[in-house]
Amino acid sequence: MPKNRNISMAVIRRLPKYNRCLGDLLEREIYRISSKELSGILGFTASQIRQDLNNFGGFGQQGYGYNVEELHNEIQKILGLTKDYKAVVVGVGNLGQAIANHTNFEKHGFKILAMFDINPNLIGLQIRGTPVYDNKELHGYIKENDVEIGVITTPKEVAQSVADELVEAGIKAIWNFAPVDLKVPEDVVVEDVHLNESLFIMSYLIKEKEMLKALEDQEK
C-alpha cells in the first residue's frame, strides 16, 4: 500500500511503463534487476525509479536489486489490475470499433460488454462478438449489468450529454476520447485521451529538433 495518498500524477503516469517493462522482462525470463538496469531500459534515472517505488513501499534490496516477478505483481495491485472491470463503449465509429477490436484490454481485465449508438444501420450488429445496442438502452443496461466504466468515442457535440447519462446510471469512471473537457461529479474518474493534443506535441518536438539541427549546421 502507498505510504501516503499525496502521490503526484507524474509518478502515477509512470507506473504503466514500469508494469509493461517488468512484464516484458518476465517474458524474457529475467527475474532480477537493479534500478540502474531499469534506468537503461526505461530512460528514467535510477534515483527517480527508487523514489517512485518508495512511494508505495520498499520493494528492492540493497546489493540485490528488485525481484521482477514480485515487483510486477505489486505494481499490478497498485494499478488495480488484479480485478476485472465491466465497460461499455458509446459511439460505434472507427475509433469505437478499434477499441472493441483491441484484445489486449480484455487480457488485462477490462471487458467491453456492449456498444451503443444512434445509427440504425449499426444497431443489432456485433463488433468482435460485442453487441451494438440503441443509445436508448444505455441507462438500463448499465444498471442491470453493474457496469463500472464508460468509454466515450462520440463527436464532441454530444459527449457531455453522454457523460451526464453515464453518471446518472451510476458509472464510476469515464475513458473520454472526445475532444472536449467533460464536467462530472468529483466521485467520477475521468481519463481524457485527446489524440489531437498528442499529435500537436509530436509536431512541436519535430519542430524543436529541426531548429536545433539548423543551429548546429550554422555553427559548423
Phi and psi at 209, nearest 5°, equal -65, -40
Confirm or deny that 95 is annotated as ligand binding: yes
The mean per-residue pLDDT over the stretch 142-147 comes to: 97
Confirm or deny that 91 is annotated as ligand binding: yes
Confirm or deny that 190 is annotated as ligand binding: no
Confirm or deny that 92 is annotated as ligand binding: yes
Confirm or deny that 96 is annotated as ligand binding: yes
Average pLDDT, the chain: 92
Confirm or deny that 80 is annotated as ligand binding: no
- At residue 6, the pLDDT reads 79
The whole-model pTM stands at 0.85
Q: Between the CA of residue 76 and those of 72, 140, 172, 209, 214, what are the distances in Å?
A: 6, 32, 20, 36, 44
The mean per-residue pLDDT over the stretch 208-215 comes to: 90
- At residue 217, the pLDDT reads 83
- At residue 1, the pLDDT reads 44
Walk me through the domains of the chain, giving residue ranges and CATH numbers: 9-78 (1.10.10.10), 85-193 (3.40.50.720)
The mean per-residue pLDDT over the stretch 179-204 comes to: 93
- At residue 149, the pLDDT reads 97
Separation CA 62–CA 130 (nearest Å): 49
Q: Are 75 and 22 in contact (CB under 8 A)?
A: yes
| Model confidence pLDDT, tens digit, residues 31-45 | 999 999 999 999 999
Q: Are 153 and 98 in contact (CB under 8 A)?
A: no
